[in-house]
Structure 1
Amino acid sequence: MRDPIKTKPVLFVFAILVFMLCACGASKHKFSKRDVKGAQNLVGVAFTKKQLDTLYPYLERNREGYDSLRTYELDYTVFPAIKFDPLPLNFNPKPQAGFPSWEIPTDVELPNNKSQLAFYTIPQLASLIKHGKITSVALTQFFIDRIKKYDGILQSTITITEEMAMEQAKKMDAELQAGKYRGILHGIPYGVKDLISVKGYKTTWGAEPYKNQEFDMTATVVEKLQEAGGVLIAKLVSGSLARGDVWFGGKTKNPWDIKQGASGSSAGSGSATSAGLVPFALGTETLGSITSPSTRNGITGLRPTYGRVSRYGVMSLSWSMDKIGPMARNAQDCAIVYNIISGKDPKDPTTTDYPFGFDKNKDVTTLKVGYLKKDIDKDTSKSKDNLTKALAVFNKMGIKMDSLELPDDVPFNSFDIILRAEAGAFFDDLVLSSDVDKMVEQDQSSRANSLRQARFIPAVEYLQANRHREVLIAKMNELIKDYDVIISPSFGNRQLVITNLTGHPVISIPTGLDKDKHPTSITLVGNLYDEASILLLAKAFQEQTDFDEMHPEGYMD
């Protein structure tokens, strides 16, 4: 038996240590009135000492609430109860004609140089498969081999889904042999940005903390493409947590100039499509991540209206701003893919059932078109000459254009609060666990830094920014409601910020190369739920030019 006299000092010391540990743990969550006083400077308010004294107990209760919230787990698929609605008051969507029966040409032949297949359009590849000139298995293997050959340079791919792809390709060949044809995507390979979940494969979000992450679900957009006969061959690079072109494995390159990044964050989709590693890909956009890599890599990118395409099974960056769209060789390929992936999804509460379509036979000269003359005149980028030449092409096509100006009497500097606050909420566990420290980029402009600072955005300011967003929606609707299309520079103006906040659809189309042999583009903006008009004008422009048929050198070996 132990001597109680000798035991008591040990117990006493142990008790003191426990007390100190508990006290340290508690103090970690405590704050003083001096802290509150100093915090006023951060948010721009000034209360009296008496007011702060009365506030303090309330703030303590708030803090208890925050701590309580963090003890409950939230699945990544849970949306906030407050949902963004892009519709202006008294909004009436333009009529839609539905989608056409896509024409599959009958005169397409296999090229003598097989590498040329890499730059065929969807209808051309569909013709080869439907008429038995190539099998889906052979075409799938062709593109997988291209990824393996060139991705060491481009770093556009995170995972090749080879086993699943070959199974799907064999199935498509067997069905075709049996007389079952699913449509224009039957047996055609494609890739998706690695924010999009695919059961049985990792979904890394391009970030070090998630590089081994796997979900027991397949995103709705992938299910729709598979049902249409598409063959998923690759999960393509997303910049880390949907920012830029840097990911945990390196930096995705622009195939036109590998000294240059592919831009972000749908960097892999842009680079791989441009270099002919996939015929088309899916990207996501919150604030330029389809239009930017489409421009940088010289391809066509469609960002549909907010809510047009389901985001179920896709990482959220901003619940009220994220969109999914196709990145492809040309506008018609984008229309084909958009046809398949759009529509209401009960698994995504933001999706809508407004009519959609694309009338490829409509007279393009009947469209009412405006252009942002002030923004175009002020453009000082290397793409200015090609922008001016593109306007001349539209004039030659018989398109009459009115000069328009974007709204400018709104607090643009405040709107970034919305994206950053919502991203901070989605990735709160990452920040609180300190796993955010594992991300590759940690500088001032990094996603890691952006997520940390989100904790200092007051809820009041987030809501105020959304109230001003409602004003912006009304102003943008007033500008565009009497037009079908607005022509805009792709960058260097407020269009990109405005349309991502209001949810309007845009399409980025190539306009050639600048003096440095880098691709340039122009952007067409449409009314909410009227992708048809921008697709029609983009298709007509591409029929008058050959910019969409250009591809980088060095990928035809």
Structure 2
Amino acid sequence: MREPRRPLLPHLHLLLLLLSLLSSSAAAPGAGAGASPRTSGGGVARSIADMAWPTKCTWLPWPTCGKSHSYTLDTKEAVSAKDVSRKEPISGVIALKASMKYFDADFFNDSKLREMEDGAKEFNVPAFRDNRKLVALENGGLHNPSALVFKSSWSDESKISENKSFQYPHTSSVHRPSKDEDIAFMSIIELGELIRTKQVTSRELTAVFLRRLKRYGPIIESVITITDDLAYKQAKEADDLLEQGKYLGPLHGIPYGLKDIIAVPEYKTTWGSRTFENQILDVQASVYKRLKSTGAVLVAKLVTGSLAYDDIWFGGRTRNPWNIEEFSTGSSAGPAASTSAGSETAGSITYPAARCGVTALRPTFGTVARTGIMSISESLDKLGPFCRSAIDCAVVLDAIRGKDAGDPSSREVAIEDPFHVDIRQLTVGYLDSAEMEVVHVLSAKGVKLVPFKLNYTVQSVQSILNITMDVDMLAHFDNWQRERHDDDYEAQDQWPVELRRARLIPAVDYIQAQRARGKLIREVRESFTVDAFIGNVTDWELVCLGNLVGMPVAVVPTGLKSIKNPPEGGTRRRTTVTTGIYAPPDHDHVALALAMAYQSVTDHHKQRPPIDDLGPGDDIQR
């Protein structure tokens, strides 16, 4: 829209004012002695440089137009002509001066701002552009990882012993159920035994899960791509190996899904975004490679919130299987609603697992390599399993953990075998937010339970995470924003707002946030006087703290409660109740062992969501 045309009178007033100043400049002290402004040539700019300049120039409203046009001049403290070029701000400096307040750095005088402007033009901007050409033309952070590597371990890595596989519990007397529904809710260990004993083939099992994905996927909006052809090919390979007497372990022939930020060759990896809806990456993610080597069968690419944020994606919004009127939350919405492999930067495993009532593990940072995975933050991103039980989570973790050359943050973490942890030797704290049933069950099993509180003085935990996550994300999607794709983003109050704000975070303050993060980690380490602790898994402060520190947490369902405002005729829809079992970095085995102990005497994790039978009085549209 064009600027409205202004009345002539104010301009005439300014012209008369300017002529008055010019005519008096010859009488000004030191007139003609000052250096000319940086504007080349003579004329008005030159004349202004040759006169004294008042220190106070205040715009006053002009009554005929409602704009601010006239000057009132205070000449009590005039600036000598020789200082004009140094102190008089030109338009670029004025803009720079105004913008510095957004960086909390508005303490520079005009001369220094002019110097900064020159430096930015001559050095900073060309360097920025050169670096972007080198590493930022491809979005998603799949290539050129940062040389700054976050180390989450609290131990001396030189003392790490050989990384050995877990010794899984033996399951005997497992028989194939007559109904597919019952097969679908069996654990990995149980399904693995059915395959090993040839009571079911991988191809048969794959068909069961593909039918379920096609039936329930559209209802809960959890599936982006069903990989039928690949699934049946991998299932046949698993069956053929078994016929040859080669059994690869408990994941042999087991169907699974991957969050759609994980690259699989020849299949779309959409990142949940309409911008990348047809993207096919010629990359094989390390986690997919590891699962394939165990004989597992990929049946689907599951929904991620757009660019791994929340549960809104280009095809809709993923729903909660326990209450399909609600949403799954978190970017691992599809995996949580379907059980599979997901990721977390800030709550994307814990939140959807809690909402959907499934067991999940957010591992220690660096335990699972992220090669071939869309990146939000290289010092925060983690991959972990969503499963039926803690035992299943341990099996999957054992398969996917390990270092990969494409991820400098990944490590060979020598996690102990969770199936051989003597929990009676553990001291476990519980926060005020802990589900007390978990406390009582573990106490009855011989664990020493004590009241606990993490003590730290850092007050900016949430802002440290936001600064880290947003700046890192913007670095990975710099080109996406520059090409204005943020205008097409599915939820305009999410990434678009945060990434625009991230443009105003200086490198200095990003580094200060990392220093504050280091202080937080030291304080948490000093106050972590127990082997593990139990607490709310969706408390935002604790979510931020856990991710900044890099500590693992096992999410376990602990019950169900009535939904808010149920229909008058009643409903079988429920709200899930969960808790988290947190351990120090590299002690995932402790969290898993405690979760397995709790689930050994409870059945909350075995409950089935009422998607097919909401109750006769519940007429919600599915």
| TM category, shorter | 0.7 to 0.9
Please state if 1:146 is matched with 2:195: no
Show the counterpart of 2:481. Answer: 431
Please state if 1:258 is matched with 2:258: no
Show the counterpart of 1:40. Answer: 100
Amino acid at match of 2:502: A
Structure 1 residues 424-456: Cα deviation after superposition (integer angstroms, max 9, x where no partner)? 10000100011221111112xx11222222211
- For this pair of structures, how many residues does the alignment match? 507
TM-aligned CA distance change 1:137 to 1:31, over 3 Å: farther
Q: Select 2:603's aligned residue among 523, 541, 546.
A: 546
Please state if 1:65 is matched with 2:122: no
Show the counterpart of 1:19. Answer: none
TM-aligned CA distance change 1:269 to 1:355, over 3 Å: same
CA deviation after TM superposition for structure 1 residue 97, in Å: 8.7
Please state if 1:199 is matched with 2:271: no
**Structure 1 segment 15-54 matched on structure 2, within 5 A:** 32-45=92-105, 46-54=107-115
Show the counterpart of 2:38. Answer: none
Give distance in 1, aligned partners of 2:243 and 2:505: 59
Give distance in 2, aligned partners of 1:238 and 1:395: 38
Please state if 1:394 is matched with 2:420: no
TM-aligned CA distance change 1:345 to 1:256, over 3 Å: same
Structure 1 residues 111-156: Cα deviation after superposition (integer angstroms, max 9, x where no partner)? 2322111110001111111111111111101100111111110110
TM-aligned CA distance change 1:91 to 1:486, over 3 Å: farther
Look up the SS of the partner of 1:238 in the other structure.
coil
Structure 1 residues 228-264: Cα deviation after superposition (integer angstroms, max 9, x where no partner)? 0100000000001111001000000101011111111
Give distance in 2, aligned partners of 1:511 and 1:433: 46
Q: Select 1:519's aligned residue among 551, 554, 576.
A: 576
CA deviation after TM superposition for structure 1 residue 187, in Å: 0.5
Amino acid at match of 1:500: N
Structure 1 residues 318-376: Cα deviation after superposition (integer angstroms, max 9, x where no partner)? 01100001110011000000001001212211111231232423321111211223x55
Give distance in 2, aligned partners of 1:95 and 1:226: 26
Give distance in 2, aligned partners of 1:455 and 1:173: 53
Show the counterpart of 1:380. Answer: none
Give distance in 1, aligned partners of 2:511 and 2:166: 42
Please state if 1:371 is matched with 2:430: yes
Show the counterpart of 1:185. Answer: 251
Structure 1 residues without counterparts, runs of 5 or longer = 1-29, 274-280, 377-386
Q: Select 1:490's aligned residue among 537, 555, 560.
A: 537
Give distance in 2, aligned partners of 1:93 and 1:253: 45
Q: What RMSD in Å do the two structures reach over aligned CA positions?
A: 2.1
Amino acid at match of 1:211: E
TM-aligned CA distance change 1:317 to 1:40, over 3 Å: same
TM-aligned CA distance change 1:329 to 1:93, over 3 Å: farther
Give distance in 1, aligned partners of 2:91 and 2:455: 43
Please state if 1:285 is matched with 2:344: yes
Give distance in 2, aligned partners of 1:248 and 1:100: 39
Q: Select 1:346's aligned residue among 402, 405, 420.
A: 405
Kindly indicate whether the alpha-carbon contact (under 8 Å) linking 2:438 and 2:558 is maintained by their aligned counterparts in 1: yes
CA deviation after TM superposition for structure 1 residue 105, in Å: 2.3
Look up the SS of the partner of 2:457 in the other structure.
coil
Look up the SS of the partner of 2:384 in the other structure.
strand
Q: Select 1:114's aligned residue among 154, 161, 180.
A: 180
Structure 1 residues 252-308: Cα deviation after superposition (integer angstroms, max 9, x where no partner)? 0101011111111100000012xxxxxxx1100001111111111111110111110
Amino acid at match of 2:102: L
**Structure 1 segment 45-444 matched on structure 2, within 5 A:** 45=105, 46-61=107-122, 62-74=124-136, 75=138, 76-88=142-154, 98-273=164-339, 281-373=340-432, 375-376=433-434, 387-410=435-458, 411-415=460-464, 416-443=466-493
Give distance in 2, aligned partners of 1:401 and 1:512: 21
Amino acid at match of 2:96: V
Give distance in 1, aligned partners of 2:356 and 2:607: 11
TM-aligned CA distance change 1:133 to 1:90, over 3 Å: closer
CA deviation after TM superposition for structure 1 residue 483, in Å: 2.4
Structure 1 residues 77-106: Cα deviation after superposition (integer angstroms, max 9, x where no partner)? 211121212245868989899443324423
Look up the SS of the partner of 2:503 in the other structure.
helix
Look up the SS of the partner of 1:360 in the other structure.
helix
The structure with the larger Rg is 2
Kindly indicate whether the alpha-carbon contact (under 8 Å) linking 1:358 and 1:531 is maintained by their aligned counterparts in 2: no
Give distance in 2, aligned partners of 1:170 and 1:555: 31
Give distance in 1, aligned partners of 2:607 and 2:454: 32
Amino acid at match of 2:490: V
Look up the SS of the partner of 1:518 in the other structure.
strand
Q: Select 1:461's aligned residue among 509, 512, 528.
A: 509
CA deviation after TM superposition for structure 1 residue 180, in Å: 1.1
Kindly indicate whether the alpha-carbon contact (under 8 Å) linking 2:167 and 2:419 is maintained by their aligned counterparts in 1: no
Kindly indicate whether the alpha-carbon contact (under 8 Å) linking 2:152 and 2:364 is maintained by their aligned counterparts in 1: no
Give distance in 2, aligned partners of 1:200 and 1:108: 37
Look up the SS of the partner of 2:502 in the other structure.
helix
Does 65-74 or 344-353 show the bigger shift?
65-74
Show the counterpart of 2:84. Answer: none
Kindly indicate whether the alpha-carbon contact (under 8 Å) linking 1:93 and 1:528 is maintained by their aligned counterparts in 2: no
Kindly indicate whether the alpha-carbon contact (under 8 Å) linking 2:554 and 2:582 is maintained by their aligned counterparts in 1: yes
Kindly indicate whether the alpha-carbon contact (under 8 Å) linking 1:243 and 1:264 is maintained by their aligned counterparts in 2: yes
Amino acid at match of 1:407: N
Divergent runs of 4+, >6 A: 89-97
CA deviation after TM superposition for structure 1 residue 218, in Å: 1.1
Does 311-320 or 67-76 show the bigger shift?
67-76
Greater relative contact order, per chain length (Cα 8 Å cut-off, separation 6+): 1
Does 509-518 or 55-64 show the bigger shift?
55-64
Structure 2 residues without counterparts, runs of 5 or longer = 1-89, 564-573, 615-622
Question: Percent identity of the aligned residues?
Answer: 36
Give distance in 2, aligned partners of 1:93 and 1:513: 44
Amino acid at match of 1:510: P
Show the counterpart of 1:472. Answer: 520
Amino acid at match of 1:363: D
TM-aligned CA distance change 1:389 to 1:556, over 3 Å: same
Show the counterpart of 2:80. Answer: none
Give distance in 2, aligned partners of 1:88 and 1:302: 20
